[in-house]
Amino acid sequence: MKKALIIVDMLVDFVDKKGALYCGESATRIIPRIRRLIQNMRKQGAAIIYLADSHEPDDREFELFPRHCVKGTPGAQVTSELKPLPADYVVLKTRYSGFYNTNLDEVLKEVSPDEVHIVGVCTSICVMDTVSGLRSRDYKVVVHSDAVADFDLEAQQFALKRIEEVLGAQVI
């Protein structure tokens, strides 16, 4: 079975205590879990796909959130513990969904996975919106509940429930 693993926004500005939009302890806590999952997936021959927020300095998203992950800055880099390898895919995005104005669709068509696993931050924002895009394209999706995080725990619980019951992804 061909698998793909999507790692959402595990970037310095979100997961480092000094980051511009730090998602909190829970985001730091999932790093070793994601690391193990990446190793495990590599052994199974899975495609590893990083989604990474990458904004222009004047992006209108900054009307809603503090300025973060500005293209080319250290804050927009994947956290050093989860660095991509040259064979991995890195898909830059400017909005919550990994599909909006990106080549994620093409990447997935190329990989043609039977199952897409997803981890990262934030559960109720970019993870949920990307799962929605995956499910709209009929991919089988598995969300690892111990490897996603959110600064708002209540929002995370709602998101996981919606991801499972409304979007039809498997939450493990």
Task: List residues near Zn ion by CB under 5 A.
Answer: 53, 61
Least distance (Å) between residue 68 CB and Zn ion:
6
Residue number with CB closer to Zn ion (11 or 169):
11
Residue 159 tokens read as 């998101």
Residue number with CB closer to Zn ion (42 or 71):
71
Residue number with CB closer to Zn ion (59 or 134):
59
Residue number with CB closer to Zn ion (53 or 150):
53
| DSSP letter string, the chain | --EEEEEE--BHHHHSTTSTT---HHHHHTHHHHHHHHHHHHHTT-EEEEEEE-B-TT-GGGGTS----BTTSGGGSBPGGGPPPTTSEEEEESSSSTTTTSSHHHHHHHH--SEEEEEEE-IIIIIHHHHHHHHHTT--EEEEEEEEE-S-HHHHHHHHHHHHHTS--EE-
Least distance (Å) between residue 7 CB and Zn ion:
16
Residue number with CB closer to Zn ion (32 or 57):
57
Least distance (Å) between residue 144 CB and Zn ion:
22
Least distance (Å) between residue 64 CB and Zn ion:
9
Residue whose C-beta lies closest to Zn ion: 53
Least distance (Å) between residue 55 CB and Zn ion:
6
